[in-house]
Amino acid sequence: MRPYARITGTGSSLPPQRLSNADMVALLAQRGVASSDDWIVERTGIRARHFAADGVYASDLAAQACRSALAAAAVEPQQVDLIIVATSTPDMVFPSTAAILQHKLGIAACPAFDVQAVCSGFIYALTLANALIQTGSARTALVVGAEVFSRLLDFNDRSTCVLFGDGAGAVLLQASETPGILATDIHADGRYSDILCVPGHVAGGQVLGRPLLKMDGQAVFRLAVEVLEDTARTVLAQAGKTAADVDWLIPHQANIRIMQSTAKKLKLPMDKVVVTVDQHGNTSAASIPLALDHAVCAGRIQPGDTLLLEGVGGGFTWGAVLLDF
């Protein structure tokens, strides 16, 4: 019988520097860019975000989140036999942030690699780890989303720079005889690669292109609302469940209006939706595991609860995971 994969521990990490909307408005004003707390909250639901200090990398935030997840599961680092890091802001071109994280955790020899699916990255990484555990290739996996997105922001573009923040979230996924992950669903459509991207690259020792985030907000909103409903219904159908069976919806924390629209389409009340976007902003691949850990630590999510995780990101990528916690 193939093993199941269950989450046995969660952890998260946020940089100490917290910027309220007032802080962001003041920062933009220094550049001659006008904004306001009301404008940001009305359009996004965001009230604050965290930025990493100079010299702090995605692997540093990931290591803190992983140590918390390991402690929550009472598992020693040496028991880990797989590390997958979802990030769009790696420490360097190569080696992978996962390999650097492995060293920082004092783990040796197990496979470690990155997944780049932007804000859907954690869903992709969790799907891969689940498959590897089911095939017997791994038994104890750290699955991490870690980002320092503040370093990709154009602070002359108020429509994007107020949206994003830095952080990391991690889960420990272990083989089990008891069902945990019930269904997964991941997709990509490169036709929409230009609506959310960072069009820069390194060549000949120079950065070519523009290595700052650009986004067509309206196009992203329209597509996100459509695909989030579809992928949610897909995993529910795979597991033989309906939205009424979901105890908690944990969506990618991008925009409160997208989250409200998805919940409405699934006929889920907002009191069943985990919301952290107001305090963390959009932390890309870190947003879902960050929200999960905060809800677990607050005692809202309990063992046996059914969780629906879903995200969308640049690529355009999207997907969902349904699991029993």
Q: Which residues are catalytic?
A: 119, 252, 282
> Which residues, 6+ apart, have CB-to-CB distance to 100 below 8 Å?
57, 59, 91
Report the C-alpha gap between 301 and 215 in whole angstroms.
Answer: 33
Contacts (Cβ under 8 Å, ≥6 apart) of 57: 91, 97, 100, 148
Interior CA angle at 68 toward 88 and 138, to 5°?
70
Residue 134 CA to residue 273 CA, distance in Å, equals 29
Give the CA diameter of the chain: 63
Query: Angle CA(145)–CA(149)–CA(153) in degrees, nearest 5?
Result: 160
Parallel, antiparallel, or unpaired for β 82-86 and 112-115? parallel
Whether the Cβ atoms of residue 122 and residue 60 lie closer than 8 Å to each other: no
